[in-house]
A and B are shown apart, each in its own frame.
Chain A
Amino acid sequence: MSANEIKHAGLNLGDTDELTHGQAGSAVFGFWVFLMSDAVIFALLFATYGVMLPATVGGPTPASEYKILSAFLETLTLLTSSFTFGMASVAMKHGASRRQFLSWMGVTLVLGAAFLGMELHDFTTMFGDGAYPTRSGYLSSFFALVPLHGLHVFFGSVWIIVMMVQVMTFGLDARVKINILRLGLFWHFLDIVWIAIFSVVYLQGLIR
């Protein structure tokens, strides 16, 4: 039967909600098209960053600006938020109590906000050191790439709040469930982009 079929990439509802599972296929596919176009944007910004990396014009360099510990803590925060979001999705799928679902979402939201706080702190430190976007080609490409990811996390956090409100108002109906599936894909996708930023931008810049 259709409940045994994998309808789309991502967490499938399967036989926990066959009706919604049937609808989810095309809805989630459309979201994947958006995600992949977003991935292309990020990939090109990575390419720009790679090209601009030597263009420091005697200004701040990666080695002088990046703090490995704060980048590592940001990675751990985002990684943990991905896991807690996974727990929220599983709670949603398997009909756990609304309270359990909302608390996993709340934890994810707090971790997302903590990540944004740490990132903003990093940026203000960089600005204080005279590392602002117009200083050099390297810094322009850095501030095009990394804050764009931060902006995504910000909108993801807003979306988490919207979903918590939707669950409290409408309960877990088909529309809300599909929205949560999409948000899950978005959140896990952002985590992958961050892994690339952590490795290509921060770790590469700090290798001695």
Chain B
Amino acid sequence: MSGPNDSNRDEIRSYAIGYCVALALTGAAFAAVHWPSFASTTTLTIVLGLALVQTAVHFRFFLHISLRKSARDDLQLILFSMLIVILMVSGTLVILSNLRARMM
């Protein structure tokens, strides 16, 4: 985990690792769709899974979010916002797709 006093080289390396991993994940998602080799639901699951991993990579290497205790209230704010986002998005999708199915 990157600390506040990492050396110049360590920090550049951290950004470079994040960049390479992000590129690989984006490329993998692109390849999964551009050269389809699975059923469409499997491909969708792969793409969404890769997006989740990539979000985590961005949070870790670009936004430097650590699960360490000393990261103050920021982490609580972020986790609480994530909770709200998950509740609202999944709630909207479940309720309205159910409504659509009933209206058909």
Contact = CB atoms under 8 A, between A and B. Distances in A.
Contact of A204 (B47, B63, B74): B47
Q: Is the interface of A mostly helix, strand, loop or mixed?
A: helix
B74 A8 contact: yes
Given A195-B51, A208-B36, A40 B58 contact: no
Given A44-B88, A207-B33, A207-B44, A4 B4 contact: yes
B15 A86 contact: yes
Contacts of A189: 63
Contacts, number: 164
Interface residues of B, number: 55
Contact of A43 (B43, B65, B85): B85
A207 B34 CA distance: 8
Given A14-B4, A195-B54, A208 B40 contact: yes
B4 A87 contact: no
A11 B64 contact: yes
Interface of B: 3-6, 8, 11-12, 15-16, 18-19, 22-23, 26, 29-30, 32-34, 36, 40, 43-44, 47-48, 50-51, 54-55, 58-59, 62-66, 68, 70-75, 77-78, 81, 84-85, 88-89, 92-93, 96-97, 100
